[in-house]
Amino acid sequence: MNLSFFDQFMSPHLLGIPLILISLLFPALLFPSPRNRWMTNRISTLQSWFIYTITKQLMTPLNKKGHKWALILSSLMIFLLSINLLGLLPYTFTPTTQLSMNLALAFPLWLATLLTGLRNQPSASLGHLLPEGTPTPLIPALIMIETTSLLIRPLALGVRLTANLTAGHLLIQLISTATAVLFSIMPAISILTACVLLLLTILEVAVAMIQAYVFVLLLSLYLQENI
């Protein structure tokens, strides 16, 4: 019984072929391709407005040098948002519940922001490891602490996204299982549990959107420190 709750986080296979790549590519099919027309349909207009809003929100704190990252960060935001929301549908697989995938997204982008700072302003980037006015006896300890906090940033990004989505999916499955079991025994309690399940599903939709935004926002903040 306990093992079945975690079966939803296993990568599906068909004839021994992992289907996670299809899960990653499928969200791109939902977005309409741009057309060279002045007048577009409502979906394209909504898509353009959504991308513009995301890009403006992410690029506002950055200077012009950081605007080169607009395409990468906006694409990552839409990618994570689509996967998180599609993963809430029944009988679907959510790739962002896999820690390996989230670390594969977080580590290269974090490393790119770090190398950007070391290349453009090495003194300022290394200066973050030692706050100004630190007493001399505390300098070695603070350097070690700041270096550790810097190195665990990609791990924190991946674990945060994985833990929040995994916990939400487990809660939904637990409450839905309880609703189905109690329906024939205590219908009134089952209806109450179904109401809780509905509210939890709405909450998980919000969590899926917020976690995608937080993931990209933290990357933009790391970039802001290094440009």
- For residue 189, how many other CB atoms are within 10 A of its CB? 13
Q: pTM of the full predicted structure?
A: 0.81
> CA-to-CA distance for 66 and 226, rounded, in angstroms?
9
What does the pLDDT profile of the chain (227 residues) look like in tens digits? 444 666 666 666 666 666 666 666 766 666 666 666 665 677 777 878 888 888 888 888 888 888 888 888 988 988 898 888 888 887 777 888 888 889 999 999 999 998 988 888 877 777 777 777 777 787 788 888 888 888 899 999 999 999 999 888 888 888 888 888 888 888 888 899 999 999 999 999 999 999 999 999 999 988 888 87
Q: Which pLDDT belongs to residue 214?
A: 93
Whole-angstrom CA distances from 34 to 13, 98, 137 are 33, 31, 60
Q: Which pLDDT belongs to residue 7?
A: 63
Closest CA to 97 of 197, 204, 179: 204
Which H or E element spans position 217? helix 187-225
- Domains of the chain, by residue range, sit at 43-123+154-226
Q: Which pLDDT belongs to residue 111?
A: 92
Token representation of residue 2: 């306990």
User: For residue 137, what is the DSSP state?
Assistant: G
- Three-state SS at 98: coil
